[in-house]
Homo-oligomer: A and B are copies of this chain.
Amino acid sequence: MPVFLNTRDSDFETQFTTLLGAKREDSPDVDAVVAGIIADVRARGDAAVLELTEKFDRLTLTPETLAFSAEEIDAAVAQVPEAEAEALSLAARRIRAYHERQMPHDESWTDATGARLGWRWGPVDAAGLYVPGGLASYPSSVLMNAIPAQVAGVKRLAICAPTPDGVANPLVLLAARLAGVDTIYRIGGAQAVAAMAYGTETIAPVDKITGPGNAFVAAAKRRVFGKVGIDMIAGPSEILVIADGDNDPDWIAVDLLSQAEHDESAQSILITDDAEFGAAVARAVDARLETLERRAIAGPSWRDYGAVITVADLDEAAALSDRIAPEHLELCVADPVALSEKITHAGAIFLGQWTPEAIGDYIGGPNHVLPTARSARFSSGLSVMDFLKRTTLAQMTPEALRAIGPAAETLAKSESLEAHGLSVRARLDRLNR
């Protein structure tokens, strides 16, 4: 049973705080193991990667077979049924079109002193995308990670995708090809992250690593942060649906289950201003759970972390939503645009009852890599910005230096940084000669 809360209940605040604070993630302390794996890959390169792949994925590789060959990719891609290939291709086109609009512009201007100022954007040279193996091997995630990198202009794109027992997902290989990925290594875990960050004899190091992964991958990304850039440390998925009574309870039920089926630690919450409707949705969830293929995952998620919250009005709903700062937010209300304007913290908003969150997972265009665990308070979904960096530019003229140099010298002296001041003073003295 999910929890049923009502903002009118006297203990609502306590219960809501408990809900917010629920620790949904197993965080096994894998950091020591991961530190050892990273040190091993740095010290022994390919040899370490091959041994660890043998150990964890039961797969014997050589430096020559670390990456899929073009023929292997061709053969796998040829197995993909046409309908799936077309759907993936449509998704790739839409995701690309959305992300192309994110490209920021360079700026350059001259200020009143004659100083020329501005900045310039450029892509990272190389990016490495982690794609989990097994159940969570999602071709859609390949598109969502690789296309922004490609749009940003990243010259070299590599994927690490473990293939436990040698089993590869043909759709993942097709997605990689659609997204312009050059090289796909069949390795995973902390060893893959270490290899991408530090390089080995066979694997060229990259500058930025993105993509989801298990606790080992997350710990490895945290450890290599600084040596390379990383995207974020993602937690279990979440959805918050705000729905008024004028919705089909079954639609909202499957929307809630579409996150619950990801992971037993996923969280699905409904906020409604109609208690009757909330109860109807809960019944519809139960009905769907009787037959849902992944009921063994979605059931525990809904039971342990699901919630139905009844509010007095939609303003209350917006305020609670901001405290949750959900990864995904569906607004199934009469005027979803008006309600969205009251929302400050959310990774992605899906407006109106014709926009199930699953559209955003696959084909809407926006990225599905989104901030979890309340991090929408301070971070954003993946975008082309993650694969770009900015260089600031400044050019003084003698006149500009004369105008603002003395203040710089004053501040340098006040910070006891004499050479800073001298570097300005030497030039001002020349001008005053």
Which residues of chain A have a CB within 8 Å of any CB of chain B?
A: 83-84, 86-88, 90-91, 94, 97-98, 101-102, 104, 107, 109, 111, 115-117, 119, 122, 124-125, 135, 138-140, 171, 207-208, 222, 225-226, 228-229, 233, 248, 250-251, 254-255, 257-258, 260-262, 288, 292-294, 298, 336-337, 340, 343-367, 370-371, 373, 375-381, 383, 385, 389-398, 400-401, 404-408, 410-412, 414-424, 426-427, 430
Contacts and interface: CB of A to CB of B under 8 A. Distances in A.
14 contacts: A87-B406, A115-B365, A229-B378, A251-B426, A254-B426, A258-B419, A261-B417, A294-B416, A294-B418, A298-B419, A347-B392, A351-B394, A361-B412, A383-B390
B340 A408 contact: no
A251 B389 contact: no
A363 B410 CA distance: 11
Contact of A390 (B87, B357, B381, B423): B381
A392 B366 contact: yes
A349 B370 CA distance: 33
A376 B207 CA distance: 10
B395 A390 contact: no
Contact of A394 (B364, B404, B407): B364
B254 A422 contact: yes
Contact of A419 (B125, B294, B336, B370): B294
A419 B139 contact: no
Nearest to A355: B396
Contact of A357 (B260, B350, B363, B423): B423
B408 A358 contact: yes
A79 to B, nearest CB: 12
A336 B292 CA distance: 64
A330 to B, nearest CB: 10
* Most B-side CB within 10 Å, residue of A94, A119, A251, A260: A119
Contact of A424 (B94, B359, B394): B359
A411 B365 contact: no
Contact of A140 (B83, B396, B397, B411): B411
A400 B90 CA distance: 14
B84 A414 contact: yes
A251 B419 contact: no
B363 A418 contact: no
Contact of A418 (B292, B336, B416): B292
Contacts of A207: 377-378
Contacts of A293: 416, 418
A135 to B, nearest CB: 8
Contacts of A226: 233, 373, 375
Nearest to A381: B392
A392 B258 contact: no
